[in-house]
Amino acid sequence: MATILVPDQVSAVEDAEALRKACQGWGTNEKAIISILGHRNAAQRMQIRLAYEQLYQEDLIKRLESELSGDFERAVYRWILDPADRDAVLAHVAIRKTKPADYHVVIEISCTRSPEELLAIRRAYQARYKCSLEEDVAAHTSGDVRKLLVALVSAFRYDGEEINARLADSEADILHNAITKKEFNHEDVIRIVSTRSKTQLMATFNRYRDDHGTSITKNLQLGESGDQFLEALRTTIRCINDPKKYFEKVLRNSIKKFGTDEDGLTRAIVTRAEKDLKDIKELYYQRNSVPLEQVVAKDTSGEYKAFLLTLLGKED
Amino acid sequence: MATILVPDQVSAVEDAEALRKACQGWGTNEKAIISILGHRNAAQRMQIRLAYEQLYQEDLIKRLESELSGDFERAVYRWILDPADRDAVLAHVAIRKTKPADYHVVIEISCTRSPEELLAIRRAYQARYKCSLEEDVAAHTSGDVRKLLVALVSAFRYDGEEINARLADSEADILHNAITKKEFNHEDVIRIVSTRSKTQLMATFNRYRDDHGTSITKNLQLGESGDQFLEALRTTIRCINDPKKYFEKVLRNSIKKFGTDEDGLTRAIVTRAEKDLKDIKELYYQRNSVPLEQVVAKDTSGEYKAFLLTLLGKED
């Protein structure tokens, strides 16, 4: 379930007017910006952008970028974008970050979104960057990691509920054989995790655990730490197997670090606030015995903190 | 340009009634079926199917399958399907044909259709077969051919006209280096042909010819004949570089063989009749100094012949 609180009745024109007012004159009224945008869903934010453009012949996003700064600006920018467009931006930043590309973000986007959502992201990517997502991923990675990543971003997985039990059985064995022999990069491993439907893969992973007495993610810890491909494979399987649990860990790691990882924190909160952040918050509490809001409040400050807490469902 | 001749005014209901009549009583009136379906475009055929279903609570396709037989039945069946659905069927038949899969058809479908058309085919494939196209391709191929095929069917290429000249330059060199060293299956070769936009690839292939004095397709003949991967790579490049010329050759080969290859002949005519078969016919005449219709008429017979000639633009 989502965390953001959206009022029953909203007017895109009134919101646009209020945002204009918040941006005018000496200083910016960040509180007003948060109290509007932090309580609107994707469709409403899109309407506000359109209304703002019509009223003032100005791009709201550009205006906000010039008014805001730092982590708060980046969070608002990511939040205001249409989800597919936002994911295209996140992927692009991750791919071009530095060498090597931040492939965990690419995996996260390709494996925790639905097949149709991933297609929408690929379309948005092309509209923005005049090339395909897989083209950029392929050009900025290499070796086995490239094989895996290109296959993941190119996949249009079957989204039905059907399970082929015999296939789950045989492919659990293929995975187990490869892992036991430490052939993590075996082409069948890449083929299976990148083409099978998520429902089918869950069945395969369950079968793996039943037949071999241990989960595939546990088994993958057999490899050398620091092996990039192995880490990418582990992230892939975790994203497919239990996306909520995966995001709980993204949040945990982004806060646990010496110096908060604002990119990870913002990304997890912004991309899940309209989806399942409530469930992720619960998992976080179960796992860490402290409410996520409390940790976020302690680790962040100013408008950035106020904005994240609003997205986490705090009443104004 | 298309070859089929479509009257200005058509009524789906009248067509459905006439088809019903053609199927009723003793014997089937194949001429009537050809004179209707052979002169209707994809949207009209879809309307006829809907009208037929509403009028008679019967699936027109099933009815035709029970009335017709042989090459004629297969041609009508392929023709009446929505193009994306038809390509899904063609791909499925090719993949499952025998071991090894008929990968030329898979390449043809993935490289001569537009990026959006290929997406529609992947959707249609999932709706029909409850799994993804890339999943089936991956499960029925192996080795380097698999790498290439999975990448081709999974691609959602950028479809814009922009060309990056520097990239064309550097990637022409990468391709030339790999080909000179006979490393045809080099991962960069697969990456380039499967992810770059077609416009970009045309620029790259032109650059290749300019810089190295010979075309990439000519250069690819350096390899061993009978090398499956090399043949697949050649087909890929020919499909991207000049689809009309490619289809001219499909037609030429399907007729030239000892015993006509009806699958190839039907496929090329049915899939191009609404698109560019007129241009392909011209190329055929240029290359073979004999009109395509004449050769088709000589090599086929009966209703199958009558249907193909109608699709080739023959007046009734």
How far off is chain B from A46, nearest CA to CA, in Å? 25
Residues near A175 by beta carbon (within 8 Å), at least 6 away in sequence: A189, A192, A204, A208, A216
CB A116, CB A199: distance < 8 Å? no
Query: CB distance from A252 to chain B under 8 Å?
Result: no
Answer whether A132 sits within 8 Å of B191, measured CB to CB. Answer: no
Q: Nearest Cβ partner of A158 from B126, B151, B157? A: B126
Question: Could you check whether the bond before residue B100 is cis, i.e. omega within 30 degrees of 0?
Answer: yes
Q: Which of A69-78, A110-119, B93-102, B253-262 has the lowest mean pLDDT?
A: B93-102
Query: Which residues from B are below 8 Å from A187, CB to CB?
Result: 146-147
What are the angstrom distances between the C-alpha of B221 and each of B120, B207, B224, B226? 34, 19, 8, 11
* B297 annotated to a ligand binding site: yes
Q: What are the mean pLDDT values of chain B's consecutive 10-residue runs (316 residues total)?
A: 91 96 89 96 96 96 94 96 97 83 92 97 97 95 94 96 95 96 93 96 96 91 82 96 96 85 95 97 95 95 96 86
CATH assignment, A245-311: 1.10.220.10
Sorted by sequence, the CB contacts under 8 Å of residue A168 that are 6+ apart come out as A200, A203, A204, A206, A207
* Residue from A131, A171, A192 whose CB has the most chain B CBs within 10 Å, to mutate: A131
Say which amino acid occupies B178: A
B157, closest residue in chain A (CA to CA): A132
* Amino acid occupying residue B209: R
Superfamily of domain A83-154: Annexin (1.10.220.10)
B186 touches A at CB < 8 Å: no
Task: Measure Cα distances from B188 to A232, B57, B103, B194, B223 in Å.
Answer: 21, 54, 21, 10, 18
Q: Which fold is adopted by the domain B244-311? A: Annexin V; domain 1 (1.10.220)
For residue B41, give every residue at least 6 positions away whose Cβ sits within 8 Å of its Cβ, in sequence order, or none.
Answer: B4, B6, B274
Q: How far is B70 from chain A (nearest CA, A)?
A: 33
Q: Do A155 and B154 touch (CB under 8 A)?
A: yes
What integer is the mean pLDDT of A169-175?
97
A146 Cβ under 8 Å from any chain B Cβ: yes
Distance in angstroms (rounded) separating the CA atoms of residues A173 and B42:
45
Contact A158 B151 (CB under 8 A): no
**Rounded Cα–Cα distance for residues A91 and A121 (Å):** 9
B302 assigned binding-site residue: no
Q: Which residues of A are annotated as a binding site for Ca(2+)?
A: 25, 27, 67, 255, 257, 259, 297, 299-300
Token pair 């659905």 in the structure block, residue? B85
**A73 contacts A62 by C-beta, under 8 angstroms:** no
Q: Which residues of A60-83 are buried (b: 16+ CB within 10 A; e: fewer)?
A: beebbeebbeebbbbbbbbbbbeb
Contact (CB<8Å) B132/A191 = no
Asked if omega into A83 is within 30° of 0 (cis), the reply is no
Residues with Cβ < 8 Å from B201, sequence gap 6 or more? B192, B193, B240, B241
What integer pLDDT is reported at residue A144 of this predicted model?
Answer: 94
Which residues in chain A are closer than 8 Å to B197, comparing Cβ atoms? 131-132, 135
**Looking at residue A151, what is its pLDDT?**
96
Q: What residue ranges of chain B are covered by domains with CATH 1.10.220.10?
A: 12-68, 83-154, 165-241, 244-311
Rounded to the nearest 5 degrees, what angle is found at the Cα of A51, between the Cα atoms of A46 and A56?
A: 130
Average pLDDT, chain A: 94
| CATH superfamily entry for domain A165-226+235-241 | Annexin (1.10.220.10)
Probe site for chain A from B122, B134, B190 (most A CB atoms < 10 A): B134
Quote the CATH superfamily of domain B165-241. Annexin (1.10.220.10)
Q: Is A130 on the interface with B (CB under 8 A)?
A: yes
How far does the CA of residue B151 sit from the closest CA of chain A (Å)? 7
Segment A179-190, tens digit of pLDDT: 999 999 999 999
CATH 1.10.220.10 location in chain A: 12-68, 83-154, 165-226+235-241, 245-311
Mean pLDDT of A92-106: 84
Q: Domain A12-68: which topology?
A: Annexin V; domain 1 (1.10.220)
pLDDT of A9 over the 90 cut: no
Full-model pTM = 0.90
pLDDT in tens, B107-164: 999 999 999 999 999 999 999 999 999 999 999 999 999 999 999 999 999 999 999 9
pLDDT band at A97 (very low <50, low <70, confident <90, very high): confident
Nearest chain B CA: its distance from A28 CA (Å): 40
From the list B119, B130, B196, which residue is nearest A135 (CB)? B196
A101 band by pLDDT with thresholds 50, 70 and 90: low
Average pLDDT over residues A153-168: 96
Subunit contact B187:A155, Cβ cutoff 8 A? no
Residue A268 scores a pLDDT above 70 = yes
A195 and B134 within 8 Å at the Cβ level: the answer is yes
